[in-house]
Structure formats: structure tokens, C-alpha cells
Structure 1
Amino acid sequence: MELKFEVAGRIARPVEEVFEAIVDPGTLSRYFTTGGAEGRIEPGATVSWSFHDFPGAFPVEVAEVEKNKRIVLRWEADENDPSAKYDTIVTMRFEALEDGRTLLSIGEEGWRETPAGLKASYGNCMGWSQMLCAMKAWVEYGINLREGMYK
């Protein structure tokens, strides 16, 4: 069984605004990376994301960027086992809808087919679902859903 998932949501903003809310570290830090983000998401870059619920900064490798269409990221799988170091692949797809909204889909894949890999995939699925909800609240209403949630 291949461990992968995809979550999706509709954001009531144009695709350019939704895309920018992810690639701009200042905006991403306002609703998702509770410990801050450093570096703009651009092809070949390695950016840093920090979260209050997971101490320490995470390096995120930017594999591909197709403006307003797709972002592909690689980051280390979190299995809490130093001997199990490997990366998963995150793919974000942006679709401009006819009504002016954006459909944002986020998928992640590449975990080892072990109990620890399965647990890590469930945790990341929860995290990306929270990111979609937090993004919607931020870009549509200026509300930070994650503020105070983990600290």
C-alpha cells in the first residue's frame, strides 16, 4: 500500500493571491508557520519553516514552481527515528475557478510503509488540512486560527 494523501479546499480569492499567500514567507508566517518562515518559495531554494508544536526549524527544499499553478516541495519525513531519514514530496496545485475562487489541493507522498511511516503520514494529513482552514480564514477574513493553539 502506497502511503499518500491529498486534501483540498476552495479559497474565495483569486489564484494569484492564494499562490502568493504560500510563497511569501511573511504571509505564510501569519497563518501557518507559527514559529515563522524564512525564504521565498522559488525554484531551487531551500526555505525554513518553524512551528510552535514541533520545535526547531524545518528545511524545505523547493523542487518546482509553476507560478499560480503548482509548487513541489521536499522535506524530511518525521518518524522520530534518526536512522529513518528520507524525504517526502508535497505537491500543491492551484486551480482558478470560474467564480473567482481558487481550488487549492495539497498532496504528500513517499513515506515508508511502516507503522511509523503511517503515523507520520496521518499527522501531516492533519497538518495540511489545518493549513487549508487557516489559510482560508486568513486570506478571506484576516483571522489567524493557529494563534495560541500550540503555545
Structure 2
Amino acid sequence: MDLKFKVMIHVGRPVGEVFEAVADPKELSSYFTTGGASARLETGKTVMWDFADFPGAFPVEVDKVVPNEKIVLRWEAAEGELVSDKGIDIKPAGYQTTVTMWFKPTDDGRTLVEIEEKGWRDTESGLKGSYGNCMGWSQMLAALKMWVERGINLREGAYK
């Protein structure tokens, strides 16, 4: 089985503004990487993402960026499951998954953002890891929408 998923959301802002909210480290750190993002997402760079509610920054390899259209990332596969009293218990899996984000303008001036992640091993722990990341990317999209449209950080206090 090919373990992968795709999630999506419509954001009520033009594609350039939504793309920048992901590519720009200051913007991304305002609603998602709340412990900080080390640099702008640019083709060939490795950036560090940190989450205030999850200890330790980790590398994100940026494979490709097409401004206002697509971002392709690779990072260490996370195999683990949700632990209610500590947040997410993630175990490094020793291989990478690929995340592709598409930014598509709509006729009414909004942006459709789609995120696909693929590459987990076809194992019980790979399946659990994919479910956890599916949840995480779904939450990222909701947080992105609220940040870009309303200036509200949905992650604040959500995982502590």
C-alpha cells in the first residue's frame, strides 16, 4: 500500500498573501512553527522548524519552491502516536517523507491550499505516523486560515 494523504482548505485571501504566510519564517512562526522557523523556504535550503509545544527544532529540506504555486519539502518520517498528557510522542523513523503544498487561486479571489504527504513505510507504525501528520497538516491549514484572514493564532495554548 502507498501510505499518503492530501488535505485542503480555502483561504479568503489572494494566493500571494497565502503563499507568503507559509514561505516567510516570521509569518510561519506566528501561527504554526511557534518555536521559530530559521529561514525562508527556498529551493535547496535546509531550514529548522521548532514548535513551542514540542521540544527540539528539526531540519526541513526544501526541494523545490515555485513562488505562489508550490512548495516541496522533505523531512524525517515521524512514527508515533498521540499521547494525551504530553502532546505528540514521535519516534524518528530513519527515512524521509515528502510534503507537497499547492497554492491555487480561485475565481472569487480566494486561495485553495492543498497539502500532500507521502513516503511512509507500509507498517503499523508508518500508518500511525501518517495519521498523526495528517492531523497536524489539517490543523496547520486551519491555523493558516485563521492567521491570514483574522490574525488569530490557533496554536496558542492548544497543546500545553
Using the size of structure 2 for normalisation, the TM-score is 0.91
Residue 59 of structure 2 aligns with an amino acid whose one-letter code is P
SS of aligned partner of 2:120: coil
Give the aligned CA root-mean-square deviation in angstroms.
Answer: 1.0
Match of 1:2 in 2: 2
Moved over 3 A (4+): none
Residue 68 of structure 2 aligns with an amino acid whose one-letter code is N
1:1-151 correspondence to structure 2 within 5 Å: 1-79=1-79, 80-81=90-91, 84-151=93-160
Report Cα offsets for 1:86-114 as digits up to 9, x if no partner: 00000000100011000000000000001
**Counterparts of 1:100 and 1:11 in 2: how far apart (Å)?**
9
Aligned residue pairs: how many?
150
Percent identical residues: 66
Residue 53 of structure 2 aligns with an amino acid whose one-letter code is D
Report Cα offsets for 1:13-71 as digits up to 9, x if no partner: 00000000000000000001121111100000001111133311010000001111110
> Where in structure 2 are there 5+ consecutive unaligned residues?
80-89
> Where in structure 1 are there 5+ consecutive unaligned residues?
none
Match of 2:84 in 1: none
| Contact 1:52/1:150 (<8 A) preserved | no
